[in-house]
A and B are shown apart, each in its own frame.
Chain A
Amino acid sequence: MSVAELKARHVAATETVNSLRERLQQKRLLLLDTDVVAVAGYAKAHGKSSVSFGATDLVCCRTLQGHTGKVYSLDWTPEKNRIVSASQDGRLIVWNALTSQKTHAIKLPCAWVMTCAFSPTGQFVACGGLDSVCSIFNLNSPSDKDGNLPESKMLSGHKGYVSSCQYVPDEDTHLITSSGDHTCVLWDITTGLRTSVFGGEFQSGHTADVLSVSINGSNSRMFVSGSCDSTARLWDTRVASRAVRTFHGHEGDVNTVKFFPDGNRFGTGSDDGTCRLFDIRTGHQLQEYYQQHSDDEVRHVTSIAFSISGRLLFAGYSNGDCYVWDTLLAQCIAGKIWPLFLKGNGKCTHMPFWLF
């Protein structure tokens, strides 16, 4: 077949894909049998009352000082008593969340760190960034002669920056990374090798940088990824050749994804200023969370987190604001709660503390 014929086939295939996507979207719209605002419409119709916070209901109980640069990422241990944070100052700091004590300050080989994660046992921390490598540190290993904690493993293989990483629940030996090379990778940390590559040049997957991953806490074989191609994708770790489902709707980069506590839904945050709730089994977009501002400036959503019940959605924005959304009624119930508290990408996460 000649190149000209191939190009013609390319054009025809692209048109077919677009047409099929359009048909799929039309069919999905027919399945949205609730009010346009989906979850909010259902919840209101069933008498759910709104949440309101008093002045003392959401207060800052800890300020962890120590980093000298923007904090780009943080993660909790499963026991919710320690935090690891990664900063532009080139350090990972491990904090005792109850006492605010620092237990480790790890100097990184590459200061351009973008993500960090705690292992399920709390013994290891992982981080990655512009060096395209995911580094693993054993918190129990002795420091070297310079007082630095050495890397216990380096996971090399990505051809672009590592944007996000998360350990597979209950497994200190496997983690998933997302990357600027358009792929996600499941790693076997023991061997340092890639077990599976999701997407990539010749596989069906994201078509732009992947910025975030979230593993399903109820079924660790499933994870979602968010990308600069404006989509989120659901993956099954047993099938790397294609995504289980692709979620369209956002009109900008999907910067952050997070599973809803029930494991059947997930939230996204995007450069289009919206957070959305999707259902993984049906692919429906169940709710959109967006607030118009008087200055019409679109604030990119940089990170999100759900509370334990899923009733509250915390969203951090590019201007440093953090809003709290009622997920059922799609109302913003607290805004700008920590405008100065959150640094860098304004990351806020689920807090195990009861605030008083």
Chain B
Amino acid sequence: MAESYRVVATAKSGCSSSVPSLPPPCPKSPPEYPDLYGKRREMAKVQMLEREIGFLEEELKSVDSLQPASRCCKEVTEFVVANPDPLMPTNRKNRRSCRFWKWLCGIPCFNFSWICCCCYSGCSLRIHLPRCCDCNCNCDPCDLCNCCSCIRCPAPNWRCCSCRSCCPFPCSCSCCCPCSCSCPCSCSCPRSSCCRNISCCSDCCTCGFPSCPDCSCCRCSFPECSCCTWLCCCPRWTFSAPKCPKSPKCPEVRLCSNCTKTCCNPCCLFF
């Protein structure tokens, strides 16, 4: 390039020396580099297919020595018949005679659990007594579970109850019933369950566990709140919408005609 300029300058200055005129400069086209990345990937695919061919040929050779399907079916049938299944219905005769015991032993506050234990061992009736193992008690399964000898409950401030479980303080327990929160506050929640915190009704939305399937007991400023989120009654996702993870890869997209979210298309799965 510099030489060309020098030649042109010399010509313009009126120098009479004869200099061959060079063609105007033109940039060269870039060299054609081989698409190495594409070739490597193509080679990898071919190698995988050739491996697959090898596996299929091996399988073809071995398939002749496989046992026929009828033998597999026989094995399945024999296994099923040989193993008792508690979910299989009993025959009608047994059902009638055990119906009374089913009813009796099913009463939550039935105190003669030893009868059920006897039924349990001797009768064809399938009665399952809950074991006193919720709070690591060493109880005879035929006793009414009294967990007052419990050593350990799931959380430090929980205590043993006579109803075979531990309840979070200060909820009280009644015999044979699951924990019901007898709260000092007047409870207006129609269907509250036990809360981790002090009361079960004063502010359902701040309970450790969601306790209000409907928001009727929560003072919610939004007219259309759905079930309580962990924070408070609010339209869904206002406070609890998670951030999209990095580099989201969408799982298989299902029917999501109303889906408007673009991040990961998670709504296609979750809405």
Contacts and interface: CB of A to CB of B under 8 A. Distances in A.
B85 interface: yes
B42 A309 contact: no
B155 to A, nearest CB: 9
A228 B252 contact: yes
B89 A309 contact: no
B193 interface: yes
A104 B168 CA distance: 12
Given A202-B48, A209-B251, A327-B76, 18 more contacts: A3-B38, A16-B49, A16-B53, A20-B53, A34-B73, A38-B69, A41-B73, A54-B89, A68-B227, A99-B178, A111-B240, A180-B251, A204-B52, A245-B59, A279-B69, A308-B84, A311-B88, A318-B254
A101 B179 contact: yes
Given A10-B42, A90-B242, A101 B59 contact: no
Contacts of A253: 252
Contact of B60 (A20, A242, A351): A20
A51 B56 CA distance: 40
A88 B270 contact: yes
B51 interface: yes
Contact of A24 (B63, B85, B127): B63
Interface in B219-254: 226-230, 240, 242, 245, 248-249, 251-252, 254
Interface string A54-97: 10011000000111111000000000010000001111010010
Given A91-B230, A309-B80, A17 B165 contact: no
A282 B88 contact: no
Interface of B: 35, 38-39, 42-46, 48-53, 55-57, 59-60, 63-64, 66-70, 72-77, 79-81, 83-89, 95, 102, 106, 126-128, 130-131, 133-134, 154, 164-166, 178-179, 193-194, 196, 208-210, 213, 226-230, 240, 242, 245, 248-249, 251-252, 254, 264, 266, 269-270
Nearest to B49: A13
Interface size class of A (residues with CB under 8 A): 35 or more
A9 interface: yes
A355 interface: yes
Interface of A: 1, 3, 6-7, 9-10, 13-14, 16-17, 20-21, 23-24, 27-28, 31-34, 38-39, 41-43, 46, 48, 51-54, 57-58, 65-70, 81, 88-91, 93, 96, 98-105, 107, 110-112, 114, 130-132, 147, 159-161, 163, 180-181, 201-204, 209, 211, 228, 242, 245, 253, 260-262, 264-265, 277, 279, 281-284, 286, 307-312, 318, 327-328, 351-356
A70 B264 CA distance: 18
